[in-house]
Amino acid sequence: MVVTLDGPAGVGKTTLARKVAQELRVAFLDTGAMFRATALKLGEGAWDLPGEELDRRLAGITFSLSGMGRTSTLSCCGEPVGDEVRTERVGMWASHLAARPEVRERQKAAQRAMGADTPLVAEGRDMGTVVFPSAAHKFFLDADPRVRAGRRAAQLTQMGKKADLEAIEASIRARDDQDRNRAIAPLIPAPDAVVIDTSGLTLDEVFGRIMRSIRS
Ligand code: C5P
């Protein structure tokens, strides 16, 4: 069984997907973290490499998933992926790389292999449209960019980090634009996805809607 949660940057997918996975007692797969870990491993500018060279470097990057629910752990080349990938800068690198077909093919194969081994809640941009088109339950979350920037700023402040709301909003808008307008696997809802605008909803309200939809 696969549940997919897609949507733009900062919409709350990771928190919700982890919570849904915990409730269902299945693994949680953060595919954004896969793109981010790949971007960090390959370094700045890798998105401009020639196809063959890029593919050769990608061949050395492996992923695995262990645990379930809240304790699900994604590893890249045997090392757990941690908070080092969670900066806006790495997010932007990931977004540049994510437009390359070589990268998407490798990621899709790794994601499907993990989905074949274990039931999971998978979150990303193309889970319902491309990677798991026959998933049992699909959700697409959206929210106003200003609201998403505000949520991300609050998260950073809570972690004791500095947050510049204007800069975060500009980065979110730039990444949205790139993710929605790329030629391969653009960010769009699957035709059979339940679309939820989370702008005026709390996390618990969105969680409630998702769980009601799955249970019905
Ligand atoms: O979700 P997150 O912000 O961690 O994703 C980082 C970037 O990785 C996104 O902006 C997007 O370009 C890319 N991504 C993707 N497809 C996915 C997950 C993430 O293209 N399934």
Q: What is the mean pLDDT of residues 202-206?
A: 96
Give the Å distance between the CA of 73 and the centre of ligand 1: 18
Q: How far apart are the first and last CA of the chain?
A: 15
Tell me how far apart the alpha carbons of residues 23 and 116 are, in angstroms, rounded to a whole number: 20
pTM: 0.95
pLDDT tens digits along 4-18? 999 999 899 999 999
For ligand 1, atom 14: residue with the closest CA: 32
In the sheet that holds 194-197, the strands lie side by side as 27-30, 120-124, 2-6, 137-142, 194-197
How much is the pLDDT for 1?
Answer: 86
Q: Which residues pair with 122 in a beta bridge?
A: 4, 29
- Beta-bridged to residue 76, according to DSSP, are 63, 79
Return the amino acid letter for 23.
E
Residue 92's pLDDT is: 92
DSSP conformation class of 125: S
pLDDT in tens, 106-154: 999 999 999 998 999 999 999 999 999 999 999 999 999 999 999 989 9
Q: Whose CA is nearest to atom 9 of ligand 1?
A: 95
What mean pLDDT value characterizes the chain? 95
Structural contact between residues 209 and 20, judged by C-beta atoms closer than 8 angstroms: no
Cα–Cα distances in angstroms (integers) from residue 116 to residues 1, 40, 83, in the given order? 9, 26, 27
Q: Ligand 1 center to residue 78 CA distance, Å?
A: 21
